[in-house]
Amino acid sequence: MSTIAIPHRSPPPVGPILGRIALPDSVVRGSARLAEEFYAAAEESEFCGDAVETYAIPLWARTGGAVWLPDLASLGYRKAESGFRGREEVLVATAGVDAHTDDEGLVLMIVLHNEGLTFRQGKVRHVPQAGDWFLFDDRKAHGVKEAPGRSVFVGWNIPIVPI
């Protein structure tokens, strides 16, 4: 009897952009509207509120999401459990935030809207476009550098765990 070694597939890197998906028009419109609402509210409060706002996943993002979201299983991950003491999927919006840490762990970030803001974590820096997606560990310092004008980043934050 012989033993066959199963090749170990290493997980994708954390930080850099790993792919791009075609966002449905309804998602492009909805996220642009959310970005404008976020900026108007931040402006009204003279940017004295939270630098990052979170929102429940709206219907315009959820509808058909299973079709256009990246296949987590092929990457060696699955969505984290949600609910009581679980990790929730949320939309995040910011006009820029200094480096900080959170306590979610690994996250799949789908960029829904970005007007030139730079994502940073460790040595990784990129200006993602709508439809880009990447993994990051939000327990490690990360931030979003602002851009000129009424620039806003909107992303779908999906907590993940290895399979």
Amino acid 1: pLDDT: 46
7 falls within a domain: no
Amino acid 116: pLDDT: 92
Q: Where is 44: in which H helix or E strand? A: helix 25-44
Amino acid 83: pLDDT: 65
Number of structural domains in the chain:
1
33 falls within a domain: yes
Amino acid 41: pLDDT: 92
Amino acid 156: pLDDT: 94
Q: Are 17 and 48 in contact (CB under 8 A)?
A: no
Residues of the chain with pLDDT under 50: 1-3, 5-6
Domain extent, residue 28, equals 17-162
Amino acid 86: pLDDT: 62
**What CATH number is attached to the domain comprising 56?**
2.60.120.620
39 falls within a domain: yes
70 falls within a domain: yes
146 falls within a domain: yes
DSSP 14-43: SSSEEEE----HHHHHHHHHHHHHHHHHHH
Q: How many CB atoms lie within 10 A of CB 25?
A: 9
Beta strands at 153-162 and 106-114: parallel, antiparallel or unpaired: antiparallel
Q: Are 89 and 118 in contact (CB under 8 A)?
A: no
74 falls within a domain: yes
29 falls within a domain: yes
2 falls within a domain: no
Amino acid 37: pLDDT: 95
- Give me the residue label for tokens 């919006």: 93
